[in-house]
Copies of this chain bind each other. A is one copy, B any other.
């Protein structure tokens, strides 16, 4: 049933493969999640919260929710509650922009700035856990970016 008694034609092989790729992709994403969970536990951050903090740590000034969302490709439905949790944790402050009152700007608090120091060792820990060489990592990243671009294009074209 799972393996027919004749050699698979290329077509069928491709068909089987696609499941394995999207599945191994999800599996890898979840495995990353587990490692980040461990690494970020002491900081009290989840992985998406850590990503949001990275965006804020990278750029000095306050940033509108819109900009963070574009950077992380997340919409307000995901970001609003996430940023509220970071605010409740005392790491960021949110306030309506003065020049455009539709916009909410997010800035680091002192505690948020201070957390940066404690987050510095995290990336090395993750790199070690991946066990990939620099070359492999570059190959993987390039493939993933092509893949995402193609998938986004295919999705957009159908709407």
Residues on A close to B: CB < 8 A? Answer: 1-2, 10-11, 13-32, 34-36, 38, 47, 51, 54, 58-60, 73, 123-124, 126-132, 134, 136-141, 143-148, 150-155, 158
Complex contact A17–B128 (CB within 8 A): no
Instruction: Verify B155–A38 contact, CB threshold 8 A.
Output: yes
Nearest-neighbour CB distance to chain B for A105, whole angstroms, equals 18
Main secondary structure of the interface of A (DSSP, over half): helix
In the complex the two chains form, is A148's CB within 8 Å of B54's CB? no
**Distance between A47 CB and nearest chain B CB, rounded to angstroms:** 8
Assess whether A34 is in contact with B131, with CB atoms less than 8 Å apart.
no
Pick from B11, B27, B73, B138: contact of A73, CB below 8 A: B27
Q: Considering the chains assembled together, what is the distance between the CA atoms of A86 and B140 in angstroms?
A: 35
